[in-house]
Structure 1
Amino acid sequence: MTITQYYILPTALIPNSPRPLLHYTNVLPAIAKGEDGFDRVDPVAGYTLFKKNGWQVAWIYRYGATQRSHFHPEVHECMIVLSGRATIRFGAGDISDDLHQNTHGDAWEKGTLVTPVTPDDPRGSAVIPGGTPGVYVVPSGGVTLEAKAGDVFVIPAGVAHKTLNTRPAAAFQLMSPGVGLSFGDSESKMPSTLASISLSGFTMMGAYISTEWDSAIRGGDFEASWMVPRPASDPVFGTGPEGLCGTWFGIPGSERVSMLRS
């Protein structure tokens, strides 16, 4: 497993966060390859891991070719890839409603190259305590990452994300029971229900600390997103220092918020 942190600065449209986006690779091992040749992981194992650490699983979606960039202003989110591969663009807003243009064209807030944080990097020292391997500062405009089965993303409130270039190609579909907000009354049956789901295309499982969550595509109260309290535990590492308990420093300090305003 590798752990990478991305501090993503705000844009004109997206608040992003003083806390880092966390990317954990190979959290769960592949259990099989589908007929399409892509790895898959056990959704029951993902569900059990998140639930053990106090995160409420809300949905399993099979993603289509693209979607609108969006963020959650008042809640942190985690997602685990269950099957397939895709590109996820974090931290950048769409500047057109045309899905072709904001996916394949120029209609999005393009960023610059991700740069490693070093001890003498003024951007790094303003955001985190010193230079650390696997920690990056992302200048305004976001970062594009590849996602594969077994990867987990822990996304601070306010950080935009957009899934595109999904492989293998498939139509968008909610794979879990309910309406995509929570599993509701079927919670007690979830292990058997999840085991019966036939994964195809690029699928992810999403979870939140609360069963109530919101979504936006641009604007809003940036500082309110920055001040959403830190969860008591990480969805993968619990209270261990490897996860958000060791990388998200409670309510962001005034120095970090001031840096984000500049």
Structure 2
Amino acid sequence: MATQEVSGIAPPEQYVLPATKYCPNNKMPVLVYRDVLPSPRTPETAQAWIEKHGWFRAGILWPAVYRRHFHPNVHECYAIVSGSSEVLMGVGKFDDTESASSKQDDQPGLCLTLREGDVIVHPAGTGHSNISDEGNYRYLSFFPEGSPKWITENGDKPLDELTGVLDMIVQVPMPQDPVTGDKGHLVPIWGAVES
């Protein structure tokens, strides 16, 4: 679904990732906002900006995390405050994946480059991990206000062995947009999928 600019912020890139044997993903797309964090780009300014839109910081100023994982009970947002990273989206630990140099279309997973100033929103159940980083890559992680403590699954068990995971994913409530606040781009994009 195409959306128009909201508060001077261009619509995000959208990526729908199908379920794999080890990663449920979500029918709602991953959203990537390019170069939107305010200047100066510091952990403090990024945190203040995202938190005013109803998402709250979780954890440290994170370096690259190379372990494939997903959270079935929460949506998550990353604000990239320095450096860049290649990220692999949409796969679990035991899924065979496309390598960065491969062009096979039948392999699961999506490789994206995230850079300082970018914000990525991945819906509950979406697999994510870093595969390379440079320039002192650091990001902040946020969850919507009222979210429970996140559960981490590594994608090391087939989905049919993860009792309740799919039910958990569909019960995660619609958040407001972490970049523009209120409905922003996220609500009409994800809402169109839900309806």
Normalising by structure 2, report the TM-score: 0.79
Contact 2:176/2:184 (<8 A) preserved: no
Contact 2:30/2:121 (<8 A) preserved: yes
Bigger drift between 212-221 and 149-158 goes to 212-221
- Counting matched residue pairs gives 174
Q: Quick one: which of 7, 12, 23 aligns to 2:16? A: 7
Q: Quick one: which of 207, 212, 234 aligns to 2:142? A: 207
C-alpha separation between the residues in 2 aligned to 1:229 and 1:62? 24
CA change 1:59–1:90 in 2 (3 A) is same
| Structure 1 residue 30 displacement after superposition | 5.3
Q: Deviations over 1:47-104 (max 9, x none)?
A: 112211111111233425x521000011100001011111110001222xxxxxxxxx
Unpaired runs of 5+ residues, structure 1, are 32-40, 96-107, 113-137, 169-200, 254-262
Contact 1:8/1:139 (<8 A) preserved: no
C-alpha separation between the residues in 2 aligned to 1:71 and 1:227? 14
Q: Which residue of structure 2 lines up, in the alignment, with residue 72 of structure 1?
A: 71
1:27 and 2:36 aligned: yes
Q: Where in structure 2 are the equivalents of 1:80-159 lying within 5 Å?
A: 80-95=79-94, 108-111=95-98, 141-159=108-126
| Structure 1 residue 251 displacement after superposition | 8.3
Q: Which residue of structure 2 lines up, in the alignment, with residue 217 of structure 1?
A: 154
C-alpha separation between the residues in 2 aligned to 1:251 and 1:5? 12
Q: Which residue of structure 2 lines up, in the alignment, with residue 187 of structure 1?
A: none
Unpaired runs of 5+ residues, structure 2, are 1-9, 100-104
CA change 1:148–1:30 in 2 (3 A) is farther
Contact 2:73/2:172 (<8 A) preserved: no
Identity %: 28
1:248 and 2:190 aligned: yes
Letter in 1 for 2:181: G
CA change 1:139–1:21 in 2 (3 A) is farther
Give the ranges of 4+ consecutive aligned residues of structure 1 lying more than 6 Å apart after TM superposition.
none
Q: Which residue of structure 1 lines up, in the alignment, with residue 43 of structure 2?
A: 43
Q: Which residue of structure 1 lines up, in the alignment, with residue 27 of structure 2?
A: 18
In structure 1, the residue corresponding to 2:60 is in which secondary structure? strand
Letter in 1 for 2:190: W
In structure 2, the residue corresponding to 1:80 is in which secondary structure? strand
Q: Deviations over 1:206-251 (max 9, x none)?
A: 0112252111112324422441333341111212342x11111288
| Structure 1 residue 109 displacement after superposition | 2.5
C-alpha separation between the residues in 1 aligned to 2:68 and 2:119? 19
